[in-house]
Amino acid sequence: MTDTLLRGRLLTFHREPLGAEDTEAYSFIEDGAILMRDGLIAAQGAYPDLSESADGVPVTDHRPHLLIAGFIDPHIHFPQVQIVASWGRQLLDWLNGYTFPAEAEYCNAQHARAMAGRFCSLLTDHGTTTAVAFCSSHKTSAEALFAEASDRNMRMIAGKTMMDRNAPDNVLDTPQTSYDDSKALIAAWHGKGRASYAITPRFAITSSPEQLEMAGSLASEHPECYIQTHLSENHDEIAFTGELYPDARDYLDVYETYGLLGRRTLLGHAIHLTEREIGAIAQSGAHPVFCPTSNLFLGSGLFDDAGLRARGITSGIATDIGAGTSYSMLQTLNEGYKVLQLQDQSLHALRAFYWITRGNADVLGLTDKIGTLDAGTEADVVVLDSAATPAMALRMEKAHSLSEELFALQMMGDDRAIVQTYVAGVPRKGVEA
């Protein structure tokens, strides 16, 4: 048994803050500490109290930096790491021009494993300790990512993408092979260590009715698994889906028909929704996932956060690498703030940091494991430096509250503001597995 005590300014959330004055929603301790033991948080609180009870335990002093739960990214594409910042396409052209050629390379197990290592390092270098990832349509891709995450004891939710039409042959599977490969991956990885499986039909355009029926069978047979897909990102996508599924009431109805809509369903984007679709999402408990840098990069549209919240819908927020332009959840918050500003909506800094920690954990149903610094949860911790760059340091000279500091991090921060990332109690920033 190895204990480690982290010292710093501690921030953790108990629920979503309603505003700057809602101090009951979070705990902030100016001289705080986290006692980590065997990959878990054994205790947290004021440093004088913990140091007294943990006499002799090695102390890593991160003062004056902030200690906060590791960031959670609930929508990201592992095989797109080398096509970030590919110029000048909207969604469907971007998929055909960049995405599918890149994903074809992941049939090669050696390439997939090499990229998995670099992918996981980029996540933790940016403060992300849990991700929900699309792999390619090749079983080797998912095997590589799960194996790499396992070696790092990193919580990973992922799935082999199911797609049997409207893409090049070298990235297509079949309804049966997609079922068989997914079934084998669930047996090999789901619930093993910190791994969970996500049944992953890419979207209605690239899955035939037969394949979506197979995906629905997987969901019925494995209700403990997640389901991840895309919904209503782009007007052309919606129109094409209508042509492919003429009997569906709308885009979402395609997924409903095949039993793919429920509390463990993550719907990437969900920008252009009908009133019926919003009602169905609210009733099912499914979760849209806001991907601001991707939506802006592809010109897809503006996510209606306030409108969905008013209907009782709980959404995630994510990077969507590689149409997304940054691995940083801080930069994701930056662009998310601007998307909401354009719609006369607001994103307070306290709610923003809640969203990328406990909020996304709640979307995943994992607040008992990740997203907070509560005793008994997994020791995924990020150390944040709000004066990481000269510009940030200059701004911080005039920041006089926690909210101001968090907002500066939200708008100006990136991987340079990440001093260290602890994954299950182990420092991972700048360290290869």
Q: What are the pLDDT digits (tens) for 318-338? A: 999 999 999 999 999 999 999
Check whether 185 has a pLDDT greater than 90.
Answer: yes
**What does DSSP say about strands 418-423 and 381-384: parallel, antiparallel, or unpaired?**
antiparallel
CATH of 3-69+372-427, one of 3.30.300.180, 1.20.58.340, 2.30.40.10, 3.30.930.10: 2.30.40.10
Q: What is the spatial distance between Cα 329 and Cα 390, in angstroms, rounded to a whole number?
A: 21
Note the CATH number of domain 71-347.
3.20.20.140
Q: What is the pLDDT of residue 167?
A: 96
Q: Which of 108, 133, 109 is nearest to 119 (CA)?
A: 133
Over residues 132-140, the mean pLDDT reads 98
Check whether 236 has a pLDDT greater than 90.
Answer: yes
Question: Is the distance from CB of 153 to CB of 379 less than 8 angstroms?
Answer: no
Confidence of residue 285 (pLDDT cuts 50, 70, 90): very high
Check whether 92 has a pLDDT greater than 90.
Answer: no
Check whether 2 has a pLDDT greater than 60.
Answer: yes
> Residues of the chain with pLDDT > 90: what percent?
94
Radius of gyration of the chain (CA): 21
Q: φ and ψ at 245, to 5 degrees?
A: -125, 70
Q: What is the pLDDT of residue 55?
A: 82
**What mean pLDDT is reported for the chain?**
96
Check whether 159 has a pLDDT greater than 70.
Answer: yes
| Chain region(s) in the chain for CATH 3.20.20.140 | 71-347
Confidence of residue 433 (pLDDT cuts 50, 70, 90): low
Over residues 407-423, the mean pLDDT reads 98
Check whether 424 has a pLDDT greater than 60.
Answer: yes
Neighbours of 402 (CB within 10 A): 19
Q: Which amino acid is at 87?
A: W
- In sequence order, the 6+-apart residues with CB closer than 8 A to the CB of 26 are 11, 12, 13, 14, 17, 350, 354
Check whether 84 has a pLDDT greater than 60.
Answer: yes
Over residues 363-372, the mean pLDDT reads 98
Q: What is the pLDDT of residue 1?
A: 56
Q: What is the spatial distance between Cα 59 and Cα 417, in angstroms, rounded to a whole number?
A: 21
| Chain region(s) in the chain for CATH 2.30.40.10 | 3-69+372-427
Check whether 56 has a pLDDT greater than 90.
Answer: no
Q: What is the pLDDT of residue 250?
A: 98
